[in-house]
Structure 1
Amino acid sequence: MPRSEWSEEVRELLDPRSEGGPVLNLYATLARHPVFYRPRAVQSAYIRLGATLTPRAREILILRIGWLCGSEYEWSQHVRVARRIGMSDDEIRRIAVGADAPGWDPLEAALIRATDELHRDDTISNRTWQELSDDYGIPELIDVVITVAGYRMVSIALNSLGIQLEPDRPRFPDVAR
């Protein structure tokens, strides 16, 4: 939606995100439904800024669920975030390969398995829950579930609404699904 078509309500939602430049296609699309946009923005802010997980753990979860959902848009946006927090391109690519890729520590492998299980089964197995519990308390365990569930919802919306990648964004790695 071009800026010239923004209502005052949409302008209030998107101006802070634009910082004078273009608004990501995701935000421009979701702002067409302001009643949804506001609470989703609060949830997203919690996951990004208030959750108990480290930025690295958060990005492993988000990238993995984006990959599993086939949401190249979600993957693309969070590749950029992962790079900013110091993850290498090899580590990012290994997220697509999965928990059995060499190089993951036990917690990181458990995070990837938890994401796979939530995507496939809508629950985390007892074994994976126990592995996560070796490092995490209840708040972190809840944040694992909330992060994967929240970004699964966004990935489904991105795919269903046909939101297109902005130019020059990272694409999915060439890894077998």
Structure 2
Amino acid sequence: MSAPETAPARIPPGGFRELGPLNWIIAKVGARAIRAPRFSLVNVMGQHRLLFLVWGLYGLMLLAVGKLSRKDAEVVILRVGHLRNSEYELQQHRRLARSRGIDADLQAKIFEGPDADGLIDRHRVLITATDEFVMTRSMSAETWAAMTLHYTRKQLIEFCLLAANYDGLAATIATLKVPLDFPD
């Protein structure tokens, strides 16, 4: 779970000196984009300057220009955040998901799980696949077959990388105790 705001960060969010000019600018632009005083994840991760840039490009590719629809990507991210009890990921992606067509009702169904009433088949399969991938580090033959009915090879590869990225990110956020960006 992401650390509550009152828990001390193991690596506090950095400023210009810790981030360097490029990552500091990225942090400022990111904070403005999420409408927060700072983007804590960027202000922490950006302290490893080169690794942050490479990881950031990878994450941006998965989040913004991947082969999965933005809505399906958010379904996966919200489910991973829920499974890993990552309040930081959930706080960020509840907001982003709303802008991508996932209202509070659908978010509640994602959190309830694949057996929630009213899910479309594609989302039911996607949630099941996310659960299996995160919890077992694999996927059953049945779930894989169901995924192939909805997704191309490139999308299936991307699904694995997206789920793994956000699972690892949840662990990193929890370990480093990255502070929340919003009071809610």
Question: What letter matches 1:35 in structure 2?
Answer: L
Higher relative contact order (CA 8 A, sep 6+): 2
TM-score (norm 1): 0.88
Deviating runs (4+, > 6 A) in structure 1? none
Per-residue CA distance 1:105-138 (angstroms, 9 max, x = gap): 1110111011100111101111111111011110
Distance 1:93 1:14 in 2: 35
Counterpart residue number, 2:154: 139
Counterpart residue number, 1:13: 23
Over the aligned positions, Cα root-mean-square deviation in angstroms equals: 1.7
Per-residue CA distance 1:15-35 (angstroms, 9 max, x = gap): 134138533111101011113
Counterpart residue number, 1:84: 99
Structure 1 residue runs without a partner (length 5+): 170-177
Q: Report whether the alignment pairs 1:161 with 2:176.
A: yes
User: Which aligned pairs between 1:97-176 and structure 2 lie closer than 5 A?
Assistant: 97-169=112-184
Counterpart residue number, 2:7: none
Per-residue CA distance 1:43-73 (angstroms, 9 max, x = gap): 1111012211111100000010011111110
Question: What letter matches 2:57 in structure 1?
Answer: V
Aligned residues with identical type, % of pairs? 26
Structure 2 residue runs without a partner (length 5+): 1-12
Moved more, 21-30 or 59-68: 21-30
How much has 1:96 moved relative to structure 2? Answer: 1.0
How much has 1:8 moved relative to structure 2? Answer: 8.0
Aligned residues: 167
Moved more, 18-27 or 83-92: 18-27
The answer on whether the counterparts of 1:14 and 1:23 sit within 8 Å (CA) in structure 2 is no
Distance 2:51 2:59 in 1: 12
How much has 1:11 moved relative to structure 2? Answer: 2.5
Question: What letter matches 1:10 in structure 2?
Answer: G
The answer on whether the counterparts of 1:26 and 1:163 sit within 8 Å (CA) in structure 2 is yes
Distance 1:9 1:24 in 2: 12
How much has 1:86 moved relative to structure 2? Answer: 2.0
The answer on whether the counterparts of 2:82 and 2:90 sit within 8 Å (CA) in structure 1 is yes
Secondary structure, in 3 states, of the residue corresponding to 1:118? helix
